[in-house]
Structure formats: structure tokens, C-alpha cells
Amino acid sequence: MARGDEEFVQFVQLSSARLVHAAFLLTGNRDDAEDLAQAALVRTYAAWPRVRRQGAHAYARTTLVNLVTDRWRRPLREYATEEVPERPARTNVSEEVIDRRWLVDMLRSLAPQERAVVILRHYFDLSEIETAAELNVSVGTIKSTNSRALSKLRVSVQVKAGYDTSVSGGER
């Protein structure tokens, strides 16, 4: 096979599930996640001779984040029609547990950049420097964005669990 197709097939087998999961965490939609992961793999294949020996995983991950970012910047336009679309079927409890619906809802509460920072830092386990390079921002921006996002997630979890988030202990 030309171009190292066998290597690419092995790469896809090893990394596609993780890319789909990361895309799901970034978008909150399984169908969009599969489409974005496939598009990232297609672009990785197009650059395969250049990236196969050094950083194919990083290239695919960066491509995935860029594709998701492009969707945030250029949202899909919806146009009104005469027919009302079908409503999605309600999910059962087991699907919510499997899909970790609560985590996706918490991630959706974050701004797009905050969500990207949290996913890159804590799902892909990238350093602050690597995350800054991926998102093309400063390390300070990564630190502050990550701190702000984690604070929002903590508050969301506390509210969902029914904890009182107000300051107690009298006046200060």
C-alpha cells in the first residue's frame, strides 16, 4: 500500500474512539462528535506522509479542536420551514448514565474557549504550555481560563447536589 495506509489504519483503530469521545465532550452531541472526528481523521490522512512519524495524535487532536472552534465561530444557520421537525425521543436513565449526561451538561454551561481548555488540559492531559500552543493563546490566558472554568463547574456541581453556595458564618 502506498503512503503508509496500513500505519494509518492502525492509527485510526487506536485513536478514533478517543477523538470521538473528546468531540462529544466538546459538542455534547454524539452525531456531531462522530462527524467532527471523521473530518479530523480525513484531514490527518491528507497530511499523513508529513505527520505519521512525528505527532499524528497531536495533529489529529489539533485538527479536531480547530473544527469544533470553526463551528463556534460559524454556527450552522437554521431556516424556518412550514413543517415542524420531529422532536428527539427522550433518553432513558441508562443512556444518561452511559453518556455521562451530567458531565456534558456541565461542560455546556461553559463558554466555548473554557470548554476547550478544560478538555485539552484534563481530558487530553496536556500541559498549560501545550494547551496554549494548541489554542494559540498565552499561558496566562490558559491558567485564568482554566481556573474560571473549574470554578464554574464546582458551583454547578454544588448547585446540582443541593449544597448551599452562599457564604455562611455571619457578616464580614
In the chain, the domains with their CATH numbers are 1-76 (no CATH), 93-162 (1.10.10.10)
Q: Is 137 exposed, middle or buried (0-12, 13-18, 19+ CB in 10 A)?
A: middle
Single pTM value for the model: 0.58
- pLDDT tens sequence across 53-98: 788 899 999 999 889 888 777 666 666 677 766 766 665 656 556 5
C-alpha cell at 106: 456541565
Residues 159, 30: Cα–Cα separation, whole Å = 26
Residues 166, 27: Cα–Cα separation, whole Å = 31
- pLDDT tens sequence across 14-38: 999 999 999 998 888 899 999 999 9
Name which residue leads in pLDDT, 145 or 98: 145
